[in-house]
Amino acid sequence: MIRLVVGLGNPGKEYERTRHNAGFWLVERFASANGVILRKDPKFQALVGRHGPAFLLLPQSFMNGSGRAVQMLAGFFKVKPDEILVVHDELDFAPGVARVKQGGGIAGHNGLKDISQRLASHDYWRLRIGVGKPAPGMEGADYVLQKPSAEEKTAIDQAIDRALQVLPQMLSGDMQAAMNKLHTEEKKEPPKREAPVKEPEKKPEAPKSGGLLKSLFGKK
């Protein structure tokens, strides 16, 4: 069972639409859909809400200090690492992709790095929202602090939609069923409309000689 869902992002208006806040986007949408109010809790330095037995947490320190709020709330309520789900942006996946896994490498993600250090564990669950790779020559740290294009944002929102559909299963502890559904569900695209093919214009046929004679002299 998942008892703590953590959305990663940076606080502040200037960051709220950037790729690094994909974790915030998902948790905020889940809270809104379920009538959960996320309130600022100075004790945990985070926005905190409750959905059934699970806490929803948005750390309000910057990304590289995300683990502080996770450590404090998990310690206070005795939440184990394997009962925590961290939702975050993922450079290794294209926009439109969402994947779940437990543990594994952190691939330079500063939020995950801080959480792992403070929990002294990599055993928490991760819901990874693809945001795509930066262009050659651009640093990943700069890329995630930029806003996605309209097309990318649409794809990211679709991935979040699919993840939200299986989040209740994750909260109940049925992680395998959630993964099976999320990982095998194909992104459905509307069929492409083909341009109508114009038929070549038919040239009027020249009257046959017999027809011309009949029209001139009538039937014999």
- Angle at the Cα of 114 from the Cα atoms of 123 and 178, rounded to 5 degrees: 40
pLDDT digits (tens, 9 = 90+) for 160-182: 999 999 999 999 999 999 999 99
The average confidence (pLDDT) of the chain is 88
Q: Which of 194, 173, 203, 199 is nearest to 80 (CA)?
A: 173
Tell me, yes or no, whether 68 lies in a domain: yes
CA 106 – CA 18 distance, rounded (Å)? 20
Tell me, yes or no, whether 147 lies in a domain: yes
Band (107; pLDDT cuts 50, 70, 90): confident
Mean pLDDT of 44-51: 97
pLDDT digits (tens, 9 = 90+) for 76-99: 999 999 999 999 999 999 999 999
Tell me, yes or no, whether 211 lies in a domain: no
Beta strand pairing status for 4-7 and 84-90? parallel
| pLDDT given at position 207 | 52
Tell me, yes or no, whether 54 lies in a domain: yes
CA torsion, points 25, 161, 50, 85, in degrees to nearest 10? -80
In CATH, what number is assigned to the domain containing residue 150? Answer: 3.40.50.1470
Tell me, yes or no, whether 174 lies in a domain: yes
Whether residue 106 is predicted with pLDDT greater than 90 in this model: the reply is no
Whether residue 212 is predicted with pLDDT greater than 60 in this model: the reply is no
Tell me, yes or no, whether 214 lies in a domain: no
In the chain, pLDDT over 70 holds for what percent of residues? 84
Backbone φ and ψ of 214, nearest 5° = -65, -40
Beta bridge partners of 99: 128
Backbone φ and ψ of 14, nearest 5° = -70, -15
Query: Are the CB atoms for 22 and 6 separated by under 8 Å?
Result: no
The domain tally of the chain equals 1
Mean pLDDT of 56-63: 96
Q: By three-state DSSP, how is residue 130 classified?
A: strand
Band (105; pLDDT cuts 50, 70, 90): confident
Mean pLDDT of 106-131: 94
CA 92 – CA 95 distance, rounded (Å)? 10
| pLDDT given at position 199 | 55
Tell me, yes or no, whether 24 lies in a domain: yes
Task: Give the domain extent around 59.
Answer: 4-184
CA torsion, points 119, 121, 124, 126, in degrees to nearest 10? 100
Query: What are the catalytic residues?
Result: 20
Whether residue 154 is predicted with pLDDT greater than 60 in this model: the reply is yes
Band (200; pLDDT cuts 50, 70, 90): low
First to last CA, the chain: 100
